[in-house]
Structure 1
Amino acid sequence: MSAPESRPAAPARLPMPPRRGPMGGGPFAGAGMPVEKSMNFGPSARRLLGRLRPERAAVVFVVLLGVLSVTFSVLGPKILGQATNIIFEGFVSAQMPPGATQQQVVDQLRAAGQVQQADMVASMHLTPGAGIDFTALATVLAWVLALYVLASLFGWAQGYVLNGVTQRTVYRLREEVEAKIHRLPLAYFDRMQRGELLSRVTNDIDNISQSLQQTMSQLLTSLLTVVGVLVMMFSISPLLALIALVTIPLTLLITTLIAKRSQKLFIAQWTHTGTLNAQIEEAYTGHALVRVFGRRHEVERTFEDKNGELFEASFGAQFVSGIIMPAMMFVGNLVYVAIAVVGGLMVAGGSISLGDVQAFIQYSRQFTQPLSQLGSMANLLQSGVASAERVFELLDADEQVPDPVESEAPPREAAAATSGRLAFEDVSFRYEPEKPLIDHLSLTAEPGQSIAIVGPTGAGKTTLVNLIMRFYELDGGRITLDGVDLTRMSRHELRSRMGMVLQDTWLFTGTIRENIAYGRPGATEEEILEAARATYVDRFVRTLPDGYDTVLDDEASNLSAGEKQLVTIARAFLAQPDVLILDEATSSVDTRTELLLQHAMNALRRDRTSFVIAHRLSTIRDADLILVMESGRIVEQGTHAELLAAGGAYTRLYEAQFAAPIDADAVPAVAGPVAAAAPGTAT
């Protein structure tokens, strides 16, 4: 499509991000794009988690597996403490004289004034002279091994099920985003940078996937571990458990203080990522023009600026959020020292066994580790929610007017001579309420009629055909196709009756045959070849080594500009539409090919209504009706000969292209709005 000169901005009724130009701007237009404000973290996180509702049963199963895994895991240190007691008690028993009872040894120690040692021996289960019971020790170690194996198996099963939950959730999110894009009006894409949109659809959704996958598993396991370990610690020693609980308020305080600052930085990080993607996409798409106009250094400077902004935001986000883990480790080490000191004193006093203290120290590590993980997960969670906000903003964007529930359509069986009547009835349209563009325009295109539209830049020519395709909604009046209001038709039905050949060619990665067949899925080989021969595509395809099986790359760089345009014309020919729109369709072909295309176009336009927007007035001489537009109004209409005889705006356009070279001093004397336009640049 030619650059929509009459689309300076999208309708004001659509609240969207600020755009940089009519089609997203050039390589240098977005340097000052503002950073978006984020939504509140809480609502965004709840909305993201709310997308797990379809997986409720699987989530419950994941929780159950997590409970089993954590239960077996936290039982291990307690039982392992028994192994420590067996070893320590066996060692102490071996130091006692055989034949003596434990009470006798305790009494001897008290008599010798060693009260603390006597209390410790009294709290143990000893058999003087017996030594270590290796059978009991092996049994305990076997139980511990079995518990840890079961914990690992249930943990693996939990991760497997959770991976499915996450990927299905993200799969549905991608589907929803894809469907949303097809429901958005063209005005949204006018305002949104392509690179920014691609970043939301790819980078942000991938980041959501990774964040959900990592945080959900660790979050669930960490919370269950904290609860399970607390239960075990209180069962061993309430006093030591209270000391360990000091870490919870400290953890919450540190995490909250750091998270408040890092969340803003993560929002900025992903915003700058989208902006940088947009700048790179634009610069590489227009790489040839950048080099032609010597703007490489400016592009490099813009890239350096954007890359620097992304670096600053990313470094700040990762640095600030990275403080959480060391802070949690510091708090955990302080608690570890306190538990070791108090626990040692309790063992010496006989109020707790050495195995229980060893188990409690393990539990203290198990307790502080998940708390540290919860803190370190804050950066992942914030990054994921920041990406979710950007995706939700896309999903919440205003959609195009929905199709009617009971749509109408002109009968397909109508005769070719009577189908394709297109009528504009008092049509008014403007992109911005305060800037009039098309007001009270009425026009009727009869079936089989060829209508050419010419005029200076900004006259509204491209807007006119965009209204036919319902890319935009009218502000007043209506457009009918064979008597049926376009708003009463579904967009699919309407566009299935339209064929459009744009100035900017679009070919996808695939064979030439597939690109032609895109116009009508299910077309036979003979129909494809007939369309190719009618539009002179067959002439150059036969010279290619692989013929119609030649694979085009993403930009079809293995074809010339004219050859690419021929393929798009063949595609429209194959579609056999009721109404044909040609928007500068021959601007990319040479003069000789243009003459050949005129014959193809005549065949293509036969028995169908056609609208032709042309720069070259030579291509529309044979049109049944020529409309001359200025400022959204039709100022002249008639045939080529009638308009030349009238000596008005069309004559000025014609003379600007075909008259003899004009002296520079004579240029100001050219009347009308086309005086400032270069020859052949009307759009």
Structure 2
Amino acid sequence: MKKKPDTSIQIYKRLSTYVTPHRGLFAISIVGFLIYSSTQPLFAALVQEIIDTLQAKSREKMYYLPLFFSGLVLVRGIGNYFGNYFLAKVSLNVIHALRCEIFNKYTQLPTAHFDANNSGYMISRITHNVGQVAQATTDAVRKVVQEGLTALGLLVYLFYVNWLLSLVFLVVAPLIALLVNYVSKRLRMLSKRIQESIGDMTHITSELVNGHRVVRSYGGEEYEKQRFLESSLYNRRQSLKLTTTGAIHNQIMQLIIALALAFLMYMALFFMEQASVGSFVGYLTAAFLLPRPIRQLSDANSDIQKGIVAAESLFEILDEPGELDEGTYQAERCKGALEFKKLSFQYAGANEPALIDINFKAEPGQTIALVGASGGGKSTLVNLVSRFYPHGSGEILLDGVEINTYQLANLRKQLALVNQQVTLFNDTIANNIAYGALTTATRSEITTAATDAYAMEFIGKLDKGLDTEIGENGVKLSGGQRQRLALARALLKDAPLLILDEATSALDTESERYIQAALQKVMRNRTTLVIAHRLSTIENADMILVIDHGRIVERGSHEELIKKNGAYARLHQMQFKEHPEKND
């Protein structure tokens, strides 16, 4: 059953829990704003005193009133500083906590979440949406506290001077409440659209940056320009609607308050006949000071609604369940026996299963090659071993223990994975090889892994060697060089189970020869699952599995399957023929 959306109050309450650890700083800021706000009605009272002193015979107070005015300005400034400074500290702490919590959550989300969600929206949550929450927890709170207390102080002063006349504000209060309620709903709707459009623009930009070579090669510049233009125009329309709504809201509210003040002025002329001139002017001064804090409160409401929508999107992510990890079994180092029993798997939302009744066993140290047409289920099978997706039907056993029984981190400690799509980081070559849990590796261990992967051949030619920065995703390296670094990373991990998913596809012939020699040496002591299209990678495998439409249609050694003259032999004739120059 779908969870009922949280109300604005529930979201803001949850957001306030991030303020709780900093309640001391928050209290100081409130005291500062309280001091600032209390000076507003005192200015009105000062105007009353000045006028009454001018009309009085005795002018003794005239010597003290300028000092009183200067003191008010000083106290107002101190209160304003303390309020803003300490509230900013609270807000920045909240934003830091939220950003880190969202990023940490991203590291825990299952692979299926990344498959189903737009990367642009995920990035904009940490950048734009958190910024919107910042406004709701800084500018908005400052305005609500500072201007709210100011308005309250002025109203107290007005009721103190003449409570009967001041009842006019109670008459317009329901009208203002209805207006604010309607506008709040519209602001939330428009804010959500704007956030979605920013996520869309971020996604389009990310695709252009990452795929600029493809865009230029295929003349996609105009298409990408049009995509971004439409997204930006939509954002502009929604932003304009948001601004228009706020502007009209402000003007209507100002008109209601102006009419109330006009009526108040009219009534004051009749009912304050007995009051002193100073009292009359002071009363009207306080009344005419009132629209400004109310307008500021209206602006704060706009920021609050944006912040609520932004916070809602952040809390949606934080409430997402992380990767399922109910296993408790841990092994220091597995032997590497891997077995599939009656395994079937279907992706969420897919019409057909990706794998059907998979049964095979790999003994420790054996190499199992998976071949077949693209989309047959080979990558799905190895992804299930890593528990990137949870398997439902059937079993996958590692050393006789179901992989779901393993603690997730411990299971992945037993695996080394090299994908066709290599992921490298904007760091040095050494740090890319010794990544994550491998950061404790020594320099000699890194060098050995790079040598075994035939990577030192090109690393040695670089000015800074292993300390060379390789750019985002290794943009400064060739495809073959990047894959050799990924292989070096896997070799350094020295896991008992090695998964090679098209790991040698981008290598030139000479590089592949060296890597094949290194792989043969490495594979002797670990179980290896190989997905490859090159015969040289799989012809020496202990067992070859031909997978077609999610089923194992043939199994056996290279020679056995060639003699069988079935699916593997046909694939061999079409895709696995060696180049003539490789036969020497």
**TM-score, length-scaled by structure 2:** 0.92
Is 1:214 paired with 2:139? yes
Supply the AA of the counterpart residue of 1:52.
V
Checking the alignment, whether the CA contact within 8 Å between 2:32 and 2:81 is kept in structure 1 is no
Supply the AA of the counterpart residue of 2:453.
T
1:63 and 1:210 map into 2 onto residues whose CA distance is 17
Task: Tell me which of 611, 616, 628 is aligned to 2:546.
Answer: 628
Instruction: Please state whether the residue corresponding to 1:183 is helix, strand or coil.
Output: coil
Checking the alignment, whether the CA contact within 8 Å between 2:187 and 2:306 is kept in structure 1 is no
Of residues 485-494 and 427-436 in structure 1, the stretch that sits farther from structure 2 once superposed is 427-436
1:263 and 1:657 map into 2 onto residues whose CA distance is 56
2:280 and 2:505 map into 1 onto residues whose CA distance is 86
2:367 and 2:215 map into 1 onto residues whose CA distance is 39
User: How far is 1:328 from its partner?
Assistant: 3.0
User: How far is 1:420 from its partner?
Assistant: 1.1
Is 1:424 paired with 2:347? no
1:153 and 1:604 map into 2 onto residues whose CA distance is 70
Checking the alignment, whether the CA contact within 8 Å between 1:251 and 1:375 is kept in structure 2 is no
Matches within 5 A, 1:84-233: 84-87=51-54, 89=55, 126-127=56-57, 133=59, 135-233=60-158
2:110 and 2:185 map into 1 onto residues whose CA distance is 36
Per the alignment, residue 535 of structure 1 pairs with 453
Instruction: Please state whether the residue corresponding to 2:500 is helix, strand or coil.
Output: strand
Is 1:82 paired with 2:49? yes
2:504 and 2:282 map into 1 onto residues whose CA distance is 83
Percent of residue pairs bearing the same amino acid type: 31
Of residues 633-642 and 300-309 in structure 1, the stretch that sits farther from structure 2 once superposed is 300-309
Of residues 366-375 and 61-70 in structure 1, the stretch that sits farther from structure 2 once superposed is 61-70
Is 1:316 paired with 2:283? no
2:271 and 2:147 map into 1 onto residues whose CA distance is 29
1:237 and 1:579 map into 2 onto residues whose CA distance is 85
Structure number with greater Rg is 1
Supply the AA of the counterpart residue of 1:449.
Q
Instruction: Please state whether the residue corresponding to 2:517 is helix, strand or coil.
Output: helix
Checking the alignment, whether the CA contact within 8 Å between 1:628 and 1:637 is kept in structure 2 is yes
1:262 and 1:67 map into 2 onto residues whose CA distance is 29
Is 1:388 paired with 2:311? yes
Per the alignment, residue 409 of structure 1 pairs with 330
Matches within 5 A, 1:656-667: 656-657=574-575
1:156 and 1:604 map into 2 onto residues whose CA distance is 66
Per the alignment, residue 115 of structure 1 pairs with none
2:205 and 2:62 map into 1 onto residues whose CA distance is 66
1:65 and 1:300 map into 2 onto residues whose CA distance is 50
Per the alignment, residue 490 of structure 1 pairs with 407
Checking the alignment, whether the CA contact within 8 Å between 1:318 and 1:379 is kept in structure 2 is no
Instruction: Please state whether the residue corresponding to 1:256 is helix, strand or coil.
Output: helix
2:171 and 2:295 map into 1 onto residues whose CA distance is 14
Q: Which has the higher helix share?
A: 2
Residues 504 and 53 of structure 1: is their aligned pair in 2 closer, same or farther, counting only changes over 3 Å? Answer: same
Residues 660 and 473 of structure 1: is their aligned pair in 2 closer, same or farther, counting only changes over 3 Å? Answer: closer
User: How far is 1:246 from its partner?
Assistant: 4.6
User: How far is 1:245 from its partner?
Assistant: 4.5
Checking the alignment, whether the CA contact within 8 Å between 2:119 and 2:203 is kept in structure 1 is yes
Checking the alignment, whether the CA contact within 8 Å between 1:62 and 1:161 is kept in structure 2 is yes
Instruction: Please state whether the residue corresponding to 2:207 is helix, strand or coil.
Output: helix
| CA distances 1:486-535 after superposition (whole Å, capped 9, x unpaired) | 11211111111211111111111111111112161111111111112221
Instruction: Please state whether the residue corresponding to 2:139 is helix, strand or coil.
Output: helix
Residues 587 and 341 of structure 1: is their aligned pair in 2 closer, same or farther, counting only changes over 3 Å? Answer: same
Residues 242 and 411 of structure 1: is their aligned pair in 2 closer, same or farther, counting only changes over 3 Å? Answer: closer
User: How far is 1:56 from its partner?
Assistant: 4.1
| CA distances 1:229-288 after superposition (whole Å, capped 9, x unpaired) | 111111112244234445533432332333332321111111111122212212332222
1:607 and 1:660 map into 2 onto residues whose CA distance is 27
Checking the alignment, whether the CA contact within 8 Å between 1:247 and 1:368 is kept in structure 2 is no
User: How far is 1:339 from its partner?
Assistant: 4.3
| CA distances 1:193-226 after superposition (whole Å, capped 9, x unpaired) | 1112111222111221122111111111222222
User: How far is 1:582 from its partner?
Assistant: 0.7
Checking the alignment, whether the CA contact within 8 Å between 1:531 and 1:571 is kept in structure 2 is yes
| CA distances 1:310-343 after superposition (whole Å, capped 9, x unpaired) | 1211111121122222333333444444444544
Is 1:549 paired with 2:516? no
Task: Tell me which of 268, 288, 294 is aligned to 2:219.
Answer: 294
Instruction: Please state whether the residue corresponding to 1:479 is helix, strand or coil.
Output: strand
User: How far is 1:556 from its partner?
Assistant: 2.1
| CA distances 1:343-395 after superposition (whole Å, capped 9, x unpaired) | 45566x3x222222332233123322111111122221111112122222222
Supply the AA of the counterpart residue of 1:74.
P
User: How far is 1:408 from its partner?
Assistant: 1.1
User: How far is 1:179 from its partner?
Assistant: 2.7
Task: Tell me which of 379, 398, 405 is aligned to 1:481.
Answer: 398
Checking the alignment, whether the CA contact within 8 Å between 1:73 and 1:148 is kept in structure 2 is no
Supply the AA of the counterpart residue of 2:67.
A
Checking the alignment, whether the CA contact within 8 Å between 1:453 and 1:629 is kept in structure 2 is yes
Of residues 75-84 and 587-596 in structure 1, the stretch that sits farther from structure 2 once superposed is 75-84
Per the alignment, residue 194 of structure 2 pairs with 269
Checking the alignment, whether the CA contact within 8 Å between 1:586 and 1:594 is kept in structure 2 is yes
Per the alignment, residue 14 of structure 2 pairs with 47
2:300 and 2:409 map into 1 onto residues whose CA distance is 46
Is 1:574 paired with 2:492? yes
Instruction: Please state whether the residue corresponding to 2:462 is helix, strand or coil.
Output: coil
| CA distances 1:155-204 after superposition (whole Å, capped 9, x unpaired) | 32122222222222222222322232222211111111111211122211
Checking the alignment, whether the CA contact within 8 Å between 2:179 and 2:249 is kept in structure 1 is yes
Is 1:358 paired with 2:281? yes
Per the alignment, residue 375 of structure 2 pairs with 458
User: How far is 1:67 from its partner?
Assistant: 2.7
Per the alignment, residue 229 of structure 2 pairs with 304
1:338 and 1:290 map into 2 onto residues whose CA distance is 66
Checking the alignment, whether the CA contact within 8 Å between 2:31 and 2:79 is kept in structure 1 is no
1:601 and 1:169 map into 2 onto residues whose CA distance is 50
Supply the AA of the counterpart residue of 1:378.
N
Unaligned segments of structure 2, at least 5 residues: 580-584
2:200 and 2:231 map into 1 onto residues whose CA distance is 7
Per the alignment, residue 676 of structure 1 pairs with none
Q: CA RMSD for the aligned pairs?
A: 2.5
Instruction: Please state whether the residue corresponding to 1:612 is helix, strand or coil.
Output: strand
Per the alignment, residue 675 of structure 1 pairs with none
1:617 and 1:318 map into 2 onto residues whose CA distance is 64
Per the alignment, residue 70 of structure 1 pairs with 37
Supply the AA of the counterpart residue of 1:155.
N
1:647 and 1:379 map into 2 onto residues whose CA distance is 72
User: How far is 1:655 from its partner?
Assistant: 0.3
Instruction: Please state whether the residue corresponding to 2:255 is helix, strand or coil.
Output: helix
2:494 and 2:548 map into 1 onto residues whose CA distance is 32
Supply the AA of the counterpart residue of 2:490.
A
| CA distances 1:429-483 after superposition (whole Å, capped 9, x unpaired) | 1114752232332221111111111111221100111110000111122222222
2:390 and 2:49 map into 1 onto residues whose CA distance is 78
Per the alignment, residue 294 of structure 2 pairs with 371
Checking the alignment, whether the CA contact within 8 Å between 1:38 and 1:267 is kept in structure 2 is no
Unaligned segments of structure 1, at least 5 residues: 1-12, 17-36, 90-125, 662-683
Supply the AA of the counterpart residue of 1:68.
I
| CA distances 1:59-103 after superposition (whole Å, capped 9, x unpaired) | 44443443333224432321342122212x1xxxxxxxxxxxxxx
1:41 and 1:313 map into 2 onto residues whose CA distance is 21
| CA distances 1:628-676 after superposition (whole Å, capped 9, x unpaired) | 1112221111111111111111111100025699xxxxxxxxxxxxxxx
1:51 and 1:551 map into 2 onto residues whose CA distance is 38
Using CA pairs under 8 Å that are at least 6 residues apart, name the structure with larger relative contact order, 1 or 2: 1
2:338 and 2:280 map into 1 onto residues whose CA distance is 89
1:423 and 1:191 map into 2 onto residues whose CA distance is 30
